[in-house]
Amino acid sequence: MASLGFFQLLKKKKELIPLVSFVSFAGVAAVFSSLYAFTKSDVIVNKQGNPEPWEQVDPSKPQKLLSINQEWKPIEELEKVRKLMK
C-alpha cells in the first residue's frame, strides 16, 4: 500500500524522479561495491584472525576489477628474503 502512495507521489511531482533514481543507483552501487570488496583476498576485515593476509594472495589470480596484460613474475630478492624469514 505504501508503494502505491509513493508512485502516485512520483506521478504528481515528476521533478522527484531524477532524484529518486540517482539516490537509488547510489545505494545499489554502494551495496555491490562493499560486497565486491569483501570478496577480495587483500581486504582486511578481521585483523585478529590473520594479521598478514597478503601472504596467502594467489599471484596467478588477478586482484583488480580490470587487468589488462597482467603477468606476474617472482622477484628473486623477495623470494630469498621470504625463505630466510620462515
pLDDT for the residue 26: 97
Write the DSSP string, 53-86.
Answer: GGGG--TTS--SSS-SS------HHHHHHHHHH-
Flag whether pLDDT at 1 surpasses 60.
Answer: no
Task: For residue 74, give its domain range.
Answer: 2-46+53-85
Flag whether pLDDT at 78 surpasses 70.
Answer: yes
**Angle between helix 2-12 and 16-39 (nearest 10):** 130
Residues 4-54 pLDDT 10s: 788 888 889 889 999 999 999 999 999 998 888 777 766 666 667 766 767
pLDDT for the residue 24: 95
Say if CB 63 and CB 53 are below 8 A apart. no
Average pLDDT over residues 55-80: 74
pLDDT for the residue 84: 85
Q: Domain tally for the chain?
A: 1
